[in-house]
Structures are given as C-alpha cells and as structure tokens.
Amino acid sequence: MPSQAADTFKALVVDRDADKRQSVGVRELRVADLMEGDVLVRVSHSTVNYKDGLAITGKLPVVRRWPMIPGIDFAGEVLGSEHRDFSPGDHVILNGWGVGEVHYGAYAGMARVKGDWLIKRPEGLSPAETMAIGTAGYTSMLCVMALERHGIAPERGAVVVTGAAGGVGSVAVALLARLGFHVVASTGRAEEHDYLKGLGASEIVDRGELSGPAKMLDKERWAGGVDTVGSHILANLLAMTKAGGAVAACGNAAGMDLPTSVAPFILRGVSLLGIDSVTLPKALREEAWQRLVRDLDRQKLAAMTTTIGLDDVPEAARNIVDGKVRGRIVVEVA
C-alpha cells in the first residue's frame, strides 16, 4: 500500500504478563507493526470513552488480543488506500468495529483498518469536534433517533437521561434540549447541576431516587428516556415511563443485569430500545453524523469538552471508570 507516512510513530499499548497482570505505556512502533487493513490513516485525534477506560484499566475484559493499542474512535487523514471509497488526502472518522479491542486502535499516530469501517468526516465538523462527539455522542444521537422512530416527541412529555454528566449523557441532554424536549437529567454528582442546566436540562433528579430496587410499576413520570447505566436504574426508568413510552438503553455502568418484570411492557406498552453503535450499517452511521452536524449546539459541545495528550490517556481512563469525568475528552494524538 503506498504511503506518505513516517516509518515510526508513538502508540499507547496495553499488555499483560504470564500472570495476566496488565500494564500500559507509550511505545514507538513501525508502520509494519500495524494489523491488516486496506486503508492507512494518519491519526490526528481520538477521545476517551467509558469502554476505553475499561480497556486500559482492565476492569472488564474489553481487550481480547494482546498486546493491544486501545482507543475505539479516531479522526485522521488517509495516507494510502486499496479501498474503492477512499483515496489519499481524504479525511475520515471511525467509531467501533472492534478497534481497540481485537484490532489495533486509535491511541497511535497511525492506524491501518478496513475501509468498510470508515466514513468520511462530515462537512462542518473539525477533526477535534468529531472526537469531542466520538462514540459517546454518536451513540446519544442513535438513542434520540430511536426515540423519534418510536414517536416520542416533545408534546408527549418529559424525557429522562441517566448518567447525565458523563459523555453519552451530556450529549443526549444537549441534543434533546435543542430538539425542544423537557429534559430531566439524573446524576449522583450534585456539583454538576449547574453544568447540566447549562446544557439544557430543565430538571435534575438525584441518582439515589432511581438506584433502589424497582417496583413492578411506579408513578408515570416521563414519556421516554436515554439510559447509560443499566441495572436497577434502568428498571426504575421502565417502571416510571408513561404508557406507550420508550427507553433507549446503551450502557452498563451500574451492571449488566436488569432486575425488572414484564409489567411495564404488557401493562403500559413501554418499549425498551437497545442501541448498538459498534457495527451499524454505513448508511445509518452517516445519517447519525449528519444529524449531529445539524442538531448539536457547537457551543455546548465546546463547553462539555476538555483536551489532553496521549500521555494523559491512562489517567483519564482511570477517572472515567471511577465516574470522575464530566462530559467529553478529546485526545490530541499527533
């Protein structure tokens, strides 16, 4: 594959020893070290998502190939391509597809990937803005689109967002507010109330109100929701959703379990909408990104974003897993 790339670049690598003790550090790699793919990209920006935090800290077995360059998102410029849709000089983004899990990922100066995993960077967004959005914001948009397809509109009532101060939650609050919804933001961090109101939240609900065991049915409070947490919180959301409403579920920060009953589904007609952002068909990925160009307030995006370098990623990973990160993080890889 033709390339204008320098032969070496820096990469953040996670590895483990014979006793499965995990380590992470910045190494110098060569282009020849990269895995197979038909497009070579010079990576300029990435981000830190909750899944990246899990991969780097080893809290859950996200990484399934060792050693691994983590990072599930990147923005960059095509240097060489054997794929029909891409040519040198194209600006591209990638979200998901097992990158950073089983295929070398974004925390490196170079990436070689399958062209089918890429889309061209939407006009109107800079590389840094695409990574300020990242998989978290892209997933938020998929949640909003799923609620819209189910007929959830502002006139039907409030919508709730859990884990609202995190990456997915922050973007979801901003999107839903701009679309005219009355947004109820749930968080366990009292110090983030003003931040969430600045993004457009009309009400704040303490996470503690939703953390206990759920009733089969509870008082109807909202027409829809975006849940990033799972477990008891998702169960409570379902029990409190109005008849005919829906909750889009995209996260498991509180656990993979769902301790609920069939009551919300068969007695109120509530729908649980599962959101998978990892292997979505290209047309739907492009649609979601075009909606983000149109519907996400750039000033609010900037207000929720901090920028770090590659060396700062391990600390950011620990912080995001510990629930200490507000909003979105952009990684300047170059």
Number of domains making up the chain: 2
- CA torsion sign for 58, 64, 70, 75 is negative
Q: DSSP for 74-99? A: EEEEEEEE-STT--TT-EEEEE-TTB
The 10s digit of each residue's pLDDT in 117-156 is 999 999 999 999 999 999 999 999 999 999 999 999 999 9
Mean pLDDT of 265-269: 98
- pLDDT for 6 equals 66
Sequence-ordered list of residues with C-beta below 8 angstroms from that of 37, at least 6 positions apart, any chain:
103, 111, 112, 113, 114, 115
59 and 167 both lie in a single domain: no
Q: What is the pLDDT of residue 9?
A: 97
| Pair (104, 173) in one structural domain | no
CA dist 209 and 276 (Å) reads 27
* Domain assignment of residue 79, yes or no: yes
User: Same structural domain for residues 101 and 229?
Assistant: no
The reply to whether 36 and 80 lie within a common domain is yes
CATH number for the domain spanning 154: value is 3.40.50.720
Query: What pairs with residue 73 in β-bridges?
Result: 95
Same domain, 255 and 328: no
168 within 8 A of 187, measured Cβ to Cβ = no
Instruction: Check pLDDT > 70 for residue 71.
Output: yes
In a shared domain, residues 88 and 32: yes
Query: In this structure, is residue 240 part of a structural domain?
Result: yes
The reply to whether 293 falls in a domain is no
**pLDDT tens by residue, 224-264:** 999 999 999 999 999 999 999 999 999 998 999 999 999 99
pLDDT value at residue 253: 87
Show the domain range for 265.
134-274
* pLDDT per position as a tens digit, 9-67: 999 999 999 998 999 999 999 999 999 999 999 999 999 999 999 999 999 889 999 99
113 and 86 inside one domain:
yes
Domain boundary among 274, 291, 312: 274
Q: 25 lies in a domain?
A: yes
In sequence order, the 6+-apart residues with CB closer than 8 A to the CB of 206 are 186, 187, 188, 190
Same domain, 45 and 156: no
pTM > 0.85: yes or no: yes
In a domain, 126, yes or no: no
The residue assigned the tokens 């391509």 is 81
Per-residue pLDDT band at 300 (split at 50, 70, 90): very high
The answer to whether residues 178 and 216 belong to one domain is yes
Identify whether residues 324 and 228 lie together within a single domain.
Answer: no
Q: Is residue 2 assigned to a domain?
A: no
In a domain, residue 128? The reply is no
Examine residue 67 and say whether the peptide bond preceding it is cis (omega within 30 degrees of 0). Answer: yes
> Residue 153 falls within a domain, yes or no?
yes
Coil, helix or strand for 123?
coil
- 107: CATH: 3.90.180.10
253 and 171 part of one domain: yes
CA separation, residue 11 to residues 27, 107, 111, 173 (Å):
5, 6, 10, 33
Asked whether residue 212 falls in the same domain as residue 320, the answer is no
Partner residues linked to 257 by β-bridges: none
